[in-house]
Each structure stands twice: as C-alpha cells, then as structure tokens.
Amino acid sequence: MAEAELLSDQLLYEFRTMQAMVEIYCKVHHPLKPARDVCLQCSEFLSYANTRLDRCPYGQQKPTCNKCPVHCYKPQMKQKAREIMMFAGPRMLLPHPIMAIKHLLAERKPAPGLPPEKASNRHFRKVKQG
Ligand SMILES: [Zn+2]
C-alpha cells in the first residue's frame, strides 16, 4: 500500500500492526471479496488510520490509542477500530507474536500528558518538503 510510505519508524510499525489486525478481521467478517488482502471497506479504514497516524500530534512518541488523551478518530471509525481490536487482538499472538507483544508492552506505559507542539509525522514531512 503506497500510503504506508508516508510513515516511518514507530508510526510505520504501528500501521503494519494495524494492517495485520485488519487482515485477520476482514478474512472472517468479509469473506466475499475479490482476491486481495482486505475488502474495500476495510481498506478505506486502513487509509483513514494511516492519515490519523501521519497527523498524530505525538509523532514518533505516540502512545497506544487506548492510553491517548486526544481521541482523534471520528465516532464511526473509532467504533470500527474497537471492533477490529477486540476481534483481532487476541488472535495476533500466533501469526504475529512480536507485534502482539510490543503492543501489549506499549499498553503498560503510563498515559502521556498533552502532546508537544509540531511533533507530528505530517509536520516533519512538510518541513522536509520545504
Ligand atoms: Zn473487510
């Protein structure tokens, strides 16, 4: 997916984790689709998630969404994210043990304070572009 190329390091890793979860979820919930990774609806969700990651005000210091005080998802997407996590979270350990464990460890970090200024991935992209 081309969009993932906007992201790097922690944010890209988080996006890959999200992608893996959506694949697990979509396979079971939306089995009737053309032969590709995820259905259109789920791929739209991933694209939304990608934009949120790019604009996350914490940038590379992003906490897990669960711990975050900002709540940047719109309600409908937040609901979908919750559904996907609840279903795919417990099913991640076998196919993606490292992603699953990293995420569990991140969940144990304390909640952060308010985000710093100008730390988002998007901000740094714009700076680089000049
Ligand atoms: Zn789907």
Helix or strand holding residue 93 (H, E): none
Spatial distance between the Cα atoms of 26 and 130, rounded to a whole number of angstroms: 39
Quote the pLDDT of residue 34: 67
Q: Rounded to the nearest whole angstrom, what is the distance from the C-alpha of residue 37 to the centroid of ligand 1?
A: 9
Rounded mean pLDDT of the chain? 90
Residues 78, 81, 82, 87, Cα dihedral to 10°: 170
More confident residue, 51 or 32: 51
Q: Rounded to the nearest whole angstrom, what is the distance from the C-alpha of residue 126 to the centroid of ligand 1?
A: 32
User: What pLDDT band is residue 111 in, cutting at 50, 70 and 90?
Assistant: confident
Q: Rounded to the nearest whole angstrom, what is the distance from the C-alpha of residue 100 to the centroid of ligand 1?
A: 21
Q: Residue 71 CA to chain centroid, in angstroms?
A: 13
For tokens 């970090």, what's the residue? 109
Q: Contact, 112 vs 61, CB < 8 A?
A: yes
